[in-house]
């Protein structure tokens, strides 16, 4: 340690120039501190072993105890954490204009780590977390908060920078005015007047740095004397604070004469963070991370030997930090290097809390603020904010602002303390949801029972890295794997085959469209719920991965039972009709009750699955936009369905209607009756279509000649039902779509047939003919 400090002084010149860098939008954090009852977890984005990448590393104190299951391949752009949770932000795999936030919730006993995506939407430029709540700003300075049910999202109001405390949020307006909306005692309505460039909050106090780098603090518990001097950045904990001086050193103050440990005095930092009693800073000298503030760090302050000093960005207005390309993927780098001439700064101590409004000359003001802006940028305080837009949070106070449907990590998340004076019941309708936002609403804990998001790690683990042993099939969407999740559930995992390059190779706009399409479909599919449809449980979207998780169907596919297995329980006409009715009901639901209706496009016996109770369920619906990518081939390929089941009219006219599904279902009925595959070989080995083979017999009233010989011949009261279904099947495969029955008519017919099959006959087969 001693050696280290000697070295660091030698390089003070270098560091000084480092400090005069400016970094636009340098407001995502690469360091986070969180706590559970008895453990402190310090996380940071660290350079990964692989070049051009960073990965998340965490260290828990005083003992290892919390293991977050990371995928080292996933790079985050920023992280935040609080009591029992850690969230990471990264661009969507397809578009940097979309941010995705994943969170892990953990407990100090180290038991279960829960994973959740709580946001997917417009890119966030700032993300901050208190001990329990998380808030972010998007590129247009709109505030959004999570885990904060009482949070009232201001309408048309913007912050240029925010700081998140224990149940409250403070922000800076475009003009640099501070506002801490709500009625948090000692904080709200006690905001100092004037123009500020940096805002920070602790548990129950707040501090701000004005345009001239002077510090002011206020709050319920401001403990200790605010230090004098010029500052660039702040880290506030509980009854304790630290500030980063313009010369890069740190000063701390607070309850019980809190101060910076002697060993760290004189060390220059780039950025500092705090949570409750723990403070951490990134050394300007070698990017190592030091933490202090409680007994855990008394003997060894260094937590990580190298962390990313800031988030990776695609463009740096003033060029990247030398060598920071090694930290970042896709050509990104950590921004720096706008060396700015320091103008004279007129000293003007900040006004005390609630002083007179400051009326300075515009030119002075501009000059001073510009310098402060640059200096603040230089020091690159992740969490501190550069600029200033417009905001009218006060406007919202006392008015009926809409209740924000905030995503929740935890259903029982602690409500914020007296933040809101709005009635919590005023559930105004959601604003027109940004498409991307909807997914996070779907998956947020507030909507349990809907879609679940799985972490890629969990799925990799459950499938032994998608091993062949787990593979149970492959289809248009990709490969299907069987897995048993941690909680014991058996699931089927469909993994799209997306080549690793494709998601980046395609134009951004195009990718965005695809991305949106994926979200659209998931949202839509999550609403489909019918006992004869295979239920979508959740999904996983990771950089190059699109994975869907379905309920597992123990008894496999109808296709295998008809064409592969020798000892199938399907050797009775009543059972076959029951299966047909189940499947027809599932398809009917898609056609008639789903809004908007779904045309399946690929009905076939291998897409009809059987659960443990031998209920048949239709699978693979709604995958039209998730199939193989690329150009027109996709549409035609998907829509064409499977050889043997394709509606010839669709083939001819290229016009898809629900009657195409009816045709394919007719082929399935013919399979059930004859036991022949859709395309099979005749006695002479010549390929033959089941429609061409079977329908002529049905129309000649000679169905008994083509019935599956493995099934005992129909009993006298089965025969009429089976013949009736034969006519139904022949109707389904009529060449003209308009001559075919609708799925509802098919369901009704099959119901009658099944009843007849189980009871002595009581109906005639005269009226299966139907049209629309
Ligand atoms: C990470 O990437 C490497 C190389 O691309 C790959 O071999 C490895 O399987 C990946 N690991 C995970 C967990 O995805
Ligand atoms: C771990 O802690 C959580 C939260 O306190 C609790 O729900 C869970 O039951 C605990 N597990 C064990 C094994 O103690
Ligand atoms: C923290 O508390 C949990 C129970 O709440 C206990 O299982 C665990 O051993 C404790 N860890 C330490 C380091 O004291
Ligand atoms: C930021 O969020 C607001 C409110 O949700 C939205 O109106 C605005 O379009 C978003 N900005 C961007 C750049 O997406
Ligand atoms: C902070 O100060 C308040 C009031 O003085 C006190 O109630 C609280 O226990 C203090 N917190 C800590 C962690 O010292
Ligand atoms: C930084 O500034 C403070 C206050 O102005 C001063 O006490 C300290 O010596 C300076 N440190 C360095 C390394 O210049
Ligand atoms: C995480 O950091 C610890 C402590 O610096 C180190 O021992 C460990 O190897 C790191 N793990 C990874 C995956 O980088």
CATH code: domain 556-758 is: 1.10.510.10
Cis peptide before 28 (omega within 30 of 0): no
Atom index in ligand 5 nearest the CA of residue 276 equals 13
CA of 239 to the centre of ligand 5 (A): 6
Residue 77 in tokens? 């752009």
What is the average pLDDT across 411-427?
32
Residue 550 in tokens? 């379905």
Check pLDDT > 50 for residue 2. no
Residue with tokens 């609080």: 82
More confident residue, 435 or 70: 70
- DSSP per position, 133-193: -EEEEETT-BEEEES-TT-BPPTT-B-SEEEE-SS-EEEE-TTS-EE--S--TTTTT-PPP
pLDDT at 234: 93
Which of these, 113, 43, 111, lies nearest to 78 by C-alpha position? 43
CA 164 to chain CA mean position, Å: 22
More confident residue, 760 or 538: 538
Decide if 259 contacts 250 (C-beta within 8 A).
no
Q: Count the neighbouring beta carbons within 10 Å of the beta carbon of residue 517.
A: 14
494 labelled binding-site residue? yes
Task: Return the residue whose CA atom lies nearest to atom 5 of ligand 4.
Answer: 142
How far apart, in whole angstroms, are the C-alpha atoms of residue 63 and residue 68?
A: 14
Check 602, 611, 661, 731 and give the catalytic one: 602
**Running DSSP on this structure, what letter comes out for residue 403?**
B
pLDDT at 360: 33
**For residue range 494-511, what is the model confidence (pLDDT) as tens digits?**
887 654 443 333 445 555
Instruction: Please tell me the least confidently modeled range out of 284-288, 290-294, 666-670.
Output: 284-288
**Running DSSP on this structure, what letter comes out for residue 207?**
E
* Ligand (nearest to CA of 83): 2
Decide if 272 contacts 240 (C-beta within 8 A).
no
**Running DSSP on this structure, what letter comes out for residue 356?**
P
Check pLDDT > 60 for residue 144. yes
What is the average pLDDT across 55-65?
86
Looking at the chain, the whole-number percentage of residues with pLDDT higher than 90 is: 31
* Ligand (nearest to CA of 37): 3
Task: Return the residue whose CA atom lies nearest to atom 7 of ligand 5.
Answer: 221
Domain chopping of the chain, boundaries:
31-309, 310-338, 448-498+510-551, 556-758
Decide if 636 contacts 651 (C-beta within 8 A).
no
pLDDT at 37: 82
How far apart, in whole angstroms, are the C-alpha atoms of residue 125 and residue 766?
A: 69
Atom index in ligand 4 nearest the CA of residue 121 equals 14
Task: Return the residue whose CA atom lies nearest to atom 5 of ligand 5.
Answer: 221
How far apart, in whole angstroms, are the C-alpha atoms of residue 175 and residue 157?
A: 13
pLDDT at 26: 53
Residue 712 in tokens? 């005992």
pLDDT at 539: 84
Which of these, 413, 433, 385, 443, lies nearest to 171 by C-alpha position? 385
pLDDT at 349: 36
pLDDT at 152: 66
pLDDT at 435: 28
CB contact set of 150 (below 8 Å; sequence gap of 6+): 415, 416, 419, 420, 422, 424
What is the best residue among 59, 65, 107, 296 to mutate for testing ligand 3's pocket, by most ligand atoms within 8 Å of CB? 65
Decide if 91 contacts 76 (C-beta within 8 A).
no
With b for 16 or more beta-carbon neighbours within 10 A and e for fewer, the 677-698 pattern comes to: bbebeeeeeeebbbbeebbebb
Residue 699 in tokens? 């129309």
**For residue range 349-406, what is the model confidence (pLDDT) as tens digits?**
333 333 333 333 333 333 333 333 333 333 333 222 222 222 222 222 323 222 222 3
Q: Count the neighbouring beta carbons within 10 Å of the beta carbon of residue 560.
A: 16
How far apart, in whole angstroms, are the C-alpha atoms of residue 27 and residue 764?
A: 76
With b for 16 or more beta-carbon neighbours within 10 A and e for fewer, the 298-312 pattern comes to: eeebebbeebbbbbb
Strands (E), 526-637: 536-542, 545-551, 608-610, 616-618
How far, CA to CA in Å, does 755 sit from each of 532, 578, 742, 761?
19, 10, 20, 9
Instruction: Please tell me the least confidently modeled range out of 259-263, 617-621, 622-626.
Output: 622-626
Decide if 732 contacts 741 (C-beta within 8 A).
yes
What is the best residue among 85, 106, 111, 412 to mutate for testing ligand 2's pocket, by most ligand atoms within 8 Å of CB? 111
pLDDT at 511: 55
pLDDT at 760: 57
- Phi/psi zone of residue 373: left (φ > 0), alpha (ψ -120 to 50 degrees), beta? alpha
H runs (alpha helix) in 264-385? 362-379
Task: Return the residue whose CA atom lies nearest to atom 14 of ligand 3.
Answer: 38
**For residue range 660-673, what is the model confidence (pLDDT) as tens digits?**
999 999 999 999 99
How far, CA to CA in Å, does 507 sit from each of 332, 545, 737?
18, 18, 39
How far, CA to CA in Å, does 241 sit from each of 107, 203, 227, 236?
27, 10, 10, 4
Confidence of residue 561 (pLDDT cuts 50, 70, 90): very high
How far apart, in whole angstroms, are the C-alpha atoms of residue 295 and residue 102?
A: 31
How far apart, in whole angstroms, are the C-alpha atoms of residue 559 and residue 599?
A: 21
Looking at the chain, the whole-number percentage of residues with pLDDT higher than 70 is: 70
pLDDT at 515: 60
Strands (E), 293-373: 302-304, 312-313, 333-334
pLDDT at 585: 97
pLDDT at 119: 82
Domain 448-498+510-551 has CATH 3.30.70.240: no
**For residue range 683-735, what is the model confidence (pLDDT) as tens digits?**
888 999 999 999 999 888 888 899 999 999 888 778 888 988 998 999 999 99
How far apart, in whole angstroms, are the C-alpha atoms of residue 685 and residue 219?
A: 88
Confidence of residue 114 (pLDDT cuts 50, 70, 90): confident
What is the average pLDDT across 592-609?
88
Q: What are the φ and ψ backbone dihedral angles of 323, each rounded to 5 degrees?
A: 75, 0
**Running DSSP on this structure, what letter comes out for residue 272?**
E
Atom index in ligand 7 nearest the CA of residue 48 equals 14
CA of 36 to the centre of ligand 2 (A): 12
Task: Return the residue whose CA atom lies nearest to atom 12 of ligand 3.
Answer: 38
**For residue range 154-194, what is the model confidence (pLDDT) as tens digits?**
555 688 889 999 888 999 988 889 988 877 888 988 889 99
Decide if 54 contacts 308 (C-beta within 8 A).
yes
CATH code: domain 31-309 is: 2.130.10.30
**For residue range 448-504, what is the model confidence (pLDDT) as tens digits?**
346 787 888 888 888 988 888 898 887 666 788 999 988 888 999 988 765 444 333
* Ligand (nearest to CA of 237): 5
């Amino acid at each position: 340690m001693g050696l280290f400090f000697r070295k660091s002084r030698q390089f003070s010149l270098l560091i000084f120039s480092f400090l005069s860098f400016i970094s636009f939008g340098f407001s995502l954090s690469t360091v986070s501190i969180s706590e559970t009852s008895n453990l402190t977890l310090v996380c940071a984005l660290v350079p990964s072993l692989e070049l051009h990448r960073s990965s998340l590393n965490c260290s828990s104190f005083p003992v290892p105890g919390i293991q977050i299951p990371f995928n080292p391949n996933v790079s985050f752009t920023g992280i935040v954490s609080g009591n029992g949770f850690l969230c990471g932000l990264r661009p969507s795999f397809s578009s940097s204009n979309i941010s995705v936030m994943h969170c892990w919730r953990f407990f100090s006993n180290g038991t279960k780590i829960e994973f959740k995506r709580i946001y997917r939407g417009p890119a966030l430029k700032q993300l901050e977390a208190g001990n329990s709540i998380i808030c972010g700003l998007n590129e247009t300075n709109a505030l959004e908060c999570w885990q904060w049910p009482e949070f009232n999202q201001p309408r048309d109001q913007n912050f240029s920078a925010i700081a998140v405390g224990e149940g409250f949020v403070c922000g800076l307006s475009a003009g640099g005015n501070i506002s801490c909306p709500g009625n948090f005692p000692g904080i709200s309505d006690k905001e100092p007047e004037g123009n500020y460039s940096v805002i920070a909050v602790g548990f129950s106090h707040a501090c701000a740095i004005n345009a001239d780098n002077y510090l002011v603090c206020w709050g319920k518990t401001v403990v200790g004397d605010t230090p004098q001097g010029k500052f660039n950045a702040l880290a506030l904990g509980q009854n304790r604070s630290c500030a980063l001086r313009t010369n890069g050193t740190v000063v701390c103050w607070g309850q019980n004469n809190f101060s910076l440990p002697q060993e760290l005095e004189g060390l220059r930092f780039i950025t500092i963070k705090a949570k409750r009693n723990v403070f951490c800073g990134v050394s300007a000298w070698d990017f190592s991370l030091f933490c202090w503030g409680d007994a855990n760090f008394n003997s060894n302050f260094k937590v990580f030997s190298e962390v990313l000093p800031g988030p990776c960005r695609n463009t740096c207005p003033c060029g990247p930090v030398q060598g920071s390309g090694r930290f970042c993927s896709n050509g990104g780098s950590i921004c720096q290097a706008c060396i700015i001439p320091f103008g004279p700064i007129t000293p003007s101590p900040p006004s005390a809390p609630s002083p007179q409004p400051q009326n300075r000359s515009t030119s002075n003001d501009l000059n001073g603020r510009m310098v402060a802006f640059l200096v603040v940028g230089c020091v690159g305080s992740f969490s501190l904010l550069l600029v200033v837009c417009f905001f009218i949070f006060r406007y919202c106070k006392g008015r009926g602002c809409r209740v924000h449907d905030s995503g929740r990590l935890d259903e029982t998340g602690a409500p914020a303390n007296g933040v809101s004076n709005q009635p919590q019941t005023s559930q105004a309708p959601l604003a027109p949801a940004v498409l991307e936002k909807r997914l996070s609403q779907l998956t947020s804990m507030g909507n349990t029972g809907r879609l679940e998001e799985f972490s890629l790690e969990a799925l990799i683990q459950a499938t032994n890295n998608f091993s062949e042993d787990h593979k149970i099939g492959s289809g248009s969407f990709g490969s299907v794997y069987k897995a048993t999740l941690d909680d014991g559930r058996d699931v089927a995992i469909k993994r799209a085959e997306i080549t690793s390059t494709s998601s980046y190779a395609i134009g951004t706009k195009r990718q965005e469209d695809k991305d949106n399409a994926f979200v659209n479909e998931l949202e839509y599919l999550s609403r489909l719920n019918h006992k004869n449809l295979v239920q979508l449980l959740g999904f996983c979207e990771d950089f190059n991965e699109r994975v869907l998780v379905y309920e597992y169907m123990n008894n496999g596919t109808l296709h295998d039972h008809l064409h592969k297995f020798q000892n199938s329980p399907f050797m009775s006409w009543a059972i076959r009709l029951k299966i047909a009715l189940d499947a027809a009901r599932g398809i009917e639901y898609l056609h008639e009750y789903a809004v908007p209706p779904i045309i399946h496009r690929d009905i076939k016996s291998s897409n009809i699955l059987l659960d443990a109770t031998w209920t048949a369920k239709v699978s693979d619906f709604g995958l039209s936009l998730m199939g193989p990518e690329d150009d027109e081939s996709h549409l035609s390929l998907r829509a064409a369905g499977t050889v043997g089941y394709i509606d010839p009219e669709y083939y001819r006219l290229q016009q898809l209607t629900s009657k195409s599904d009816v045709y394919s279902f007719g082929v399935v009925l013919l399979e059930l009756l004859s036991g022949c595959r859709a395309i099979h070989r005749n006695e002479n080995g010549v390929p033959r279509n089941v429609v061409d083979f079977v329908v002529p017999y049905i129309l000649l009233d000679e169905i008994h000649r083509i019935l599956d010989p493995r099934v005992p011949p129909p009993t006298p009261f089965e025969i009429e039902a089976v013949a009736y279904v034969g006519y139904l099947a022949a109707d389904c495969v009529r060449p003209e779509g308009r001559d075919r029955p609708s799925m509802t008519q098919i369901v009704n017919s099959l119901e009658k047939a099944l009843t007849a099959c189980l009871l002595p006959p009581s109906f005639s087969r005269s009226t299966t003919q139907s049209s629309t």
